């Protein structure tokens, strides 16, 4: 596939910033989630399986440094890579005592690591942890990104999926990340059964208004043994079609600030124990179809980004 030009890709962003390709190295920690252990809930999100959103990590019993060294050796040889991002991926990677958090982050600062990416929840963001990350960023000249699982700005849908937090907690976390100069990568699912096109638009508008730096889009996938899986098998879910997902992604991108980096527009999932994933089609085929459709329509990310900074006043001459 030719270089993608209809939206701002993560690979191009990293290449422009670091002068070459940069690869993520997954890190697994012995963690859980406040939505599982009774702090905010006990059963977790209705779509979340036992692996906590990760299916490619090494065992969490291995030290952070050893995981990174092993993954770096493998990926470095396979792709001739020289620069890497330590990616704390599974479950809620800020949900631990502060001293433990500091230790794990410091263990990840090894040779050839140019950035750290930390996956977490909006209700697990605290000033003390962010101050520490700000110090690490400054001391080691690392790019620090916090990946916030939101899934949707529709707080009614957040309740439906048993997310354990609302939109307010997300906004609070996004504002705090700005305060400390840390990048925000927000995860969104554009085909939740309870969302419609208006929710897709609001997703784009709120991400743009908050100045989010990065976005990860993924289609809902349904895992055996989850509450969502049970609903699916009982015929209680109204899932949109593959073509409708394509249209939602395009709608989202057209209304999104063109400065926001897109880490992905559809995700991958394991076939094992999965009841539904990407309409039984390869993720890259769906991605390519979205890109080709946008090219055919001569549209792009930000084509309809015209709603901020006093849209109602644009009828007047504002040249003072």
pTM of the model: 0.94
Per-residue pLDDT tens over the stretch 227-243: 999 999 999 999 999 99
Give CA separation, 153 vs 64, 166, 201, 212, in Å: 33, 8, 10, 14
User: Is beta strand 183-189 parallel, antiparallel or unpaired with respect to 143-151?
Assistant: parallel
* Strand 83-88 relative to strand 22-27, pairing: parallel
C-beta atoms surrounding 5 within 10 Å: 13
The residues facing 120 across adjacent strands are 148
C-alpha to C-alpha distance for 293 and 253, rounded to whole angstroms: 13
In whole angstroms, how far apart are CA 265 and each of 44, 249, 270, 292, 309?
24, 7, 17, 13, 27
pLDDT tens for the chain, 320 residues: list them: 568 999 999 999 999 999 999 999 999 999 989 999 889 988 889 998 765 444 457 788 799 999 999 999 999 999 999 999 999 998 899 999 999 999 999 999 999 999 999 999 999 999 999 999 999 999 999 999 999 999 999 999 999 999 999 999 999 999 999 999 999 999 999 999 999 999 999 999 999 999 999 999 999 999 999 999 999 999 999 999 999 999 999 999 999 999 999 999 999 887 788 999 999 999 999 999 999 999 999 999 999 999 999 988 888 876 65
> The tokens of 141 are what?
């000249």
């Amino acid at each position: 596939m030719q270089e993608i030009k209809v939206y701002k890709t993560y690979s191009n962003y990293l290449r422009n910033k670091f002068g070459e390709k940069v690869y993520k190295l997954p890190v697994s920690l012995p963690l859980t989630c406040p939505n599982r252990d009774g702090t905010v809930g006990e059963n977790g999100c209705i779509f979340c399986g036992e692996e906590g959103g990760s299916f490619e990590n090494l065992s969490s019993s291995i030290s952070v440094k050893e995981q990174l060294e092993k993954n770096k050796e493998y990926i470095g040889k396979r792709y001739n890579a020289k620069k890497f991002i330590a990616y704390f991926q599974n479950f809620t990677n800020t949900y631990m005592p502060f001293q433990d958090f500091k230790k794990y982050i410091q263990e990840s600062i090894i040779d050839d690591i140019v950035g750290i990416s930390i996956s977490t929840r909006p209700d697990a963001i605290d000033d003390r942890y962010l101050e520490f990350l700000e110090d690490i960023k400054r001391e080691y000249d690392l790019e620090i990104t916090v990946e916030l699982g939101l899934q949707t700005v529709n707080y009614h849908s957040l309740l439906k999926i048993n997310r354990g937090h609302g939109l307010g907690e997300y906004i609070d976390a996004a504002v705090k990340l700005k305060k400390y100069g840390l990048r925000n990568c927000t995860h969104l699912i554009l085909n939740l059964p309870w969302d419609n096109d208006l929710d897709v638009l609001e997703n784009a508008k709120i991400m743009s208004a908050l100045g989010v730096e990065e976005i990860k889009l993924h289609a809902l996938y349904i895992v055996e043994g989850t509450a969502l899986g049970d609903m699916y098998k009982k015929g209680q879910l109204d899932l949109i079609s593959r073509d409708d997902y394509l249209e939602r992604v395009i709608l989202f991108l057209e209304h999104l600030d063109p400065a926001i980096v897109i880490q992905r527009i559809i995700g991958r999932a394991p076939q094992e124990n999965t009841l539904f994933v990407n309409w039984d089609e390869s993720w890259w085929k769906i991605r390519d179809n979205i890109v080709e459709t946008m090219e055919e329509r001569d549209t792009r990310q930000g084509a309809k980004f015209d709603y901020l900074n006093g849209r109602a006043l644009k009828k007047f001459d504002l040249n003072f």
